Amino acid sequence: MLNTAKRTNKKASERFNFSKERFIRSVGYWVVKAYIRTILEWGQLADVHNKDQRRKNMRAIKSADTSIEVRVRKMLWHAGYRYRLNVKSLTGTPDIYLPKYRAAIQINGCLWHGHNCPQFVLPKTRTEFWKEKISSNVQRDLRSISELKKQNIRALLIWECAIRGNGRLEPDYLLKLISRWLPTDDSLSVIDKQGIRSASLEDLNAQFNEALNFQLKTNPA
């Protein structure tokens, strides 16, 4: 009777010891697993946050592009010019189209369209992706201008830096440049911080290549 009791006690304590060991071991595993999972999740979170932030930044830049377009539009409207917006029937759907002058005005953000000016900086992360993206924007711009030319429509390209930022043109002066260009028969002109000048598609392509090469040299992938 006594023996049996002892034996059961012993067994119970052995059992207890055994399960205590197992308990400690499994808690140990659990802690390590949770620790690793937390680190991994934080890593993912940080990455998602970066992507989110980047997306937000890019969206902010895009809507800012729209706001410079609005500034030019309002300026023209107040000066009595009448135009159509984003005319889908014209290739490249120019931002502003003035039927009376058969003229399209395109307002380009310096970053998105690769202007050879300080506002165009190739992002340091995913540089190759941005290089491809901006290059394809520029190719599309060039194609649109050449399609407009085929339809006998003249084009005026205004760079963002002429409208906003350090060294931008005075709004009155910008309006004067546009007003002088509209009644001419010049087929392609560009307005930037330096003012207005006649250009060709080759000029536009060359300015982009120069800007891109400069960025790739100062910002190697």
Give the residues lining the site for Zn ion (CB under 5 A): 110, 115, 117, 119, 159, 161
Instruction: Between 81 and 160, name the residue whose CB sits nearer to Zn ion.
Output: 160
Task: State the nearest-atom distance from the C-beta of 68 to Zn ion, in Å.
Answer: 11
Instruction: Between 115 and 154, name the residue whose CB sits nearer to Zn ion.
Output: 115
Instruction: Between 188 and 191, name the residue whose CB sits nearer to Zn ion.
Output: 191
Task: State the nearest-atom distance from the C-beta of 206 to Zn ion, in Å.
Answer: 15
Instruction: Between 104 and 117, name the residue whose CB sits nearer to Zn ion.
Output: 117
Task: State the nearest-atom distance from the C-beta of 110 to Zn ion, in Å.
Answer: 3
Task: State the nearest-atom distance from the C-beta of 159 to Zn ion, in Å.
Answer: 4
Would you call 168 exposed, middle or buried from its count of C-beta atoms within 10 A (0-12, 13-18, 19+)?
A: middle
Task: State the nearest-atom distance from the C-beta of 117 to Zn ion, in Å.
Answer: 3
Task: State the nearest-atom distance from the C-beta of 70 to Zn ion, in Å.
Answer: 18
Residues contacting residue 191 through CB under 8 Å, at least 6 positions apart: 156, 157, 158, 159, 162, 169, 174, 177, 178
Contact yes or no for 119/165 (Cβ under 8 A): yes
Instruction: Between 103 and 160, name the residue whose CB sits nearer to Zn ion.
Output: 160
Closest by alpha carbon to 117, among 59, 174, 62, 159? Answer: 159
131 is written with which tokens?
Answer: 């290089």
Task: State the nearest-atom distance from the C-beta of 107 to Zn ion, in Å.
Answer: 11
Instruction: Between 119 and 135, name the residue whose CB sits nearer to Zn ion.
Output: 119
130 is written with which tokens?
Answer: 């941005």
Instruction: Between 87 and 142, name the residue whose CB sits nearer to Zn ion.
Output: 142
